[in-house]
Structure 1
Amino acid sequence: MSIATTRARGTSGGAGGGLPGAFAAEWTKLWTVRTPYVCLLAGLIVTAVFAFYYGSIARINDKPLQPVGNASVSSVVLTQFVLVVLAMTTVTSEYATSSVRTSLLWVPVRSRIQLAKALLGALVGFVAGAGWAALGMAVAWGPFRGHADFDLSKAVYQTLAMGVYCALVCVLTVGVSFALRSAAGTVAAVFFVVSALPSMLVGLGGPVLLAVNQYLPQTVGGYFMLGDGEAPFPDAVSLLILVGWAVGAHVAGLLVLRRRDA
């Protein structure tokens, strides 16, 4: 039986497990390999080290008083790529081993399998991001030594915002992974858009390039997570821009998947 035939039957016949079933299958596949455990552990270590370093530098350089959550937010420039690798492998590993054919046979509705992977990435990304935010605050509080303050409402906001940003980075990565189907290509593309391009634009300078940089994921995500009111637009607008990037990547991946599934 061909994949196309199975897809037609899946579309016109019974719904099977539907989206919950597809999500449950992706959840099981994710936690039966080592990659997510290694990635999450690496994120914990990087967050702790970076937060301690951030707090120490702020104290040594006698920086002005700031929210303790800024240490956690600053660590995202590194930890986000741990989640990129985690989210990417849910897609590219199946293409590398051709097991994607089995996944597409069991979940013939193309949008459903991609949405299941995106939702899984978003859930893991949100929990990891929020957990790392809390860890970073706890670790950084000591080395800050009076150069940070703890406001509960601000801490909660930054914790949730960091979780949301990490979730959207995972969704973006899943979309790019479906579009490119290559681990190396996905990492290169996401790294360029998220990290390298902002650095290039800031380095080159000029009003136009700096204006473009304000709408890139990492830059606008920083505005959103800090929530300090110094962004060029409100936090809600920053969130909408991030969602736009994630949805755009998701749509691009779906178009490729529908045109050339396996």
Structure 2
Amino acid sequence: MNAVRSEWTKLWTVRSSWFNIVGAVGLAGLLGLQYGFSTAYDNTHLEPGEIAKQQAVGDIGSSVILIVQVVVAAFALLTVTSEYATGSIRSTLQWTPVRRNVVLAKAAVLAPVLFVYGLLLAGISAAAGGLAAGSWADWSAGELVVDLLSVGFYVTLAGLFTAGIAWVVRSTAGTLTVAFLLLLIVPLMLSQSSLRPLVWIAALLPGGAGQNYLTGATDPLSPTLSAVVLLLWAAGGLVLGSRVLARLDA
């Protein structure tokens, strides 16, 4: 419990956490506006035979988070890599000599924070996009709640996975590169392939599973199976990080 309290204090007493949140909120709002204005434009400039469709505001939040997730990943990884950069990891391990408990304490603090973080970003982008879309926005409360909770779930697991990798890589630039590739770039590239094996690989990566989960896609994996894949990546990242921390010097 003392380790958890310590990690909570460290998270909120460094400026990088607040800078990250401010930047992510601003980016989410701007992207939400862009999606909303695009929806309104598309529906008022239809080609012959096209039918105007309303856009669920929750879908806007889900779409935005697939881009902003890299910023959230940076929030998670900095809780680990900043300690290696400053050398404070040595003090942390002296205060909590059972190294596994350090990883668990950071994860215990990050999990609820990341969930609320995801809700915040999705809510802001959904609201901004809905207002920009005007009459073309669908504000169905039930769908919005489901979409927001789904984003919170995904952001939590993606962040925990990134934090686990941070224990392995130990550098901010290196961990951010891995997160950027596995959460966004590689799944996006492979999912567009005409080769079925590559599409499957994309769906089994954390970013691809997250996209399938948030969009409700059923090919090649159902949203439920995509959620299981995400859980496995998050747990695997933390287990790997814990083992590396236990074996290597700080």
| TM-score > 0.5 by shorter chain | yes
Aligned residue for 1:43?
A: 24
Q: Does 1:236 align with 2:217?
A: no
Q: CA deviation at 1:230?
A: 4.5
Deviates more, 1:61-70 or 1:171-180: 61-70
Q: Does 1:129 align with 2:118?
A: yes
Aligned residue for 2:81?
A: 92
Q: CA deviation at 1:202?
A: 3.5
Output the TM-score relative to the length of structure 2: 0.91
Contact 1:172/1:249 (8 A) holds in 2: yes
2:59 pairs, out of 70, 91, 101, with: 70
Contact 2:57/2:138 (8 A) holds in 1: yes
Q: CA deviation at 1:118?
A: 1.5
Identity %: 33
Q: How many residues align?
A: 242
Are residues 30 and 132 of structure 1, via their aligned partners in 2, closer, same or farther at CA, if it must alter by over 3 Å?
same
CA distance in 1 between partners of 2:29 and 2:79 (Å): 26
Aligned residue for 1:180?
A: 169
Aligned residue for 1:116?
A: 105
SS at match of 2:34: helix
CA distance in 2 between partners of 1:64 and 1:90 (Å): 42
1:117 is matched by which residue type in structure 2? K
Aligned residue for 1:247?
A: 235
Output the TM-score relative to the length of structure 1: 0.87
CA distance in 1 between partners of 2:157 and 2:228 (Å): 11
Unaligned runs of 5+ residues in structure 2 are 44-51
Aligned residue for 2:8?
A: 27
CA distance in 2 between partners of 1:98 and 1:253 (Å): 18
1:3-22 superposed matches below 5 A: 20-22=1-3
CA distance in 1 between partners of 2:249 and 2:161 (Å): 19
2:39 is matched by which residue type in structure 1? A
2:138 is matched by which residue type in structure 1? D
CA distance in 2 between partners of 1:118 and 1:230 (Å): 30
Contact 2:191/2:203 (8 A) holds in 1: no
2:152 is matched by which residue type in structure 1? G
CA distance in 2 between partners of 1:123 and 1:36 (Å): 15
Aligned residue for 2:191?
A: 202
Aligned residue for 1:223?
A: 212
1:141-180 superposed matches below 5 A: 141-180=130-169
CA distance in 2 between partners of 1:253 and 1:91 (Å): 10
CA distance in 2 between partners of 1:97 and 1:214 (Å): 37
Unaligned runs of 5+ residues in structure 1 are 1-19
Q: CA deviation at 1:204?
A: 4.5
For residues 146-184 of structure 1, what are the alpha-carbon distances to aligned partners after superposition, in whole Å with 9 as ceiling and x for unaligned?
333122221111111111111111101110010111111
Q: CA deviation at 1:188?
A: 1.0
